[in-house]
A = this chain, B = another copy of it.
Amino acid sequence: MYRNLMYICFRKEIALQLVMIKNMKNSQLYKGSLNTIIMKLLEENGKMYGYEITQKVKAITSGELNITEGALYPALHKLEAEGILDVEMEKVDNRMRKYYKLTEKGTTETVNRLSELEDFIRNMQSLVNPSPKLEF
């Protein structure tokens, strides 16, 4: 019964597509949180390069959140233009890397963003879980 489906699924292209669908399922909710994620990771790790950020996020969220490059790079450029990030080029293994780190302004701004994120999460939990069960 499911042989044909199994066979089809094992074909690389379709398997990859299934992985994409799985990972993309809740992308809508992540809209607007990219900058906060980038800034928090940089606050924690000092300096990071773009590709590293995508991999780190994927690892932390067990593959559930995949930052697309089309979103990441423009976001990094914009944060740099706003004076939130500083950039520093480095050549590793003949490949170019652009390391980003928080400026002083960026560090201050990160504190604000994180407190906003806490408010956001608290509010969303209030909306979704209106009568929290108290546990003793």
Contact present for A29 and B36 (CB under 8 Å): yes
Is A70's beta carbon under 8 Å from chain B? no
Contacts of A116 in B (CB 8 A): 25-26, 29
Q: How many monomers of this chain does the complex have? A: 2
**Given that A29-B32, A31-B32, A32-B30 are known contacts, is A117 also in contact with B123, CB under 8 Å in the complex?**
no
- Which candidate, A2-10, A84-92, A95-103, A126-134, is the interface stretch facing chain B? A126-134
A119 to B121, CA, bound (A): 12
Most buried by B among A29, A32, A35, A117: A29
Chain A residues with CB under 8 Å of chain B are: 25-26, 28-33, 35-37, 40-41, 44, 57, 60-61, 64-65, 114, 116-121, 123-128, 130
Contact present for B33 and A124 (CB under 8 Å): yes
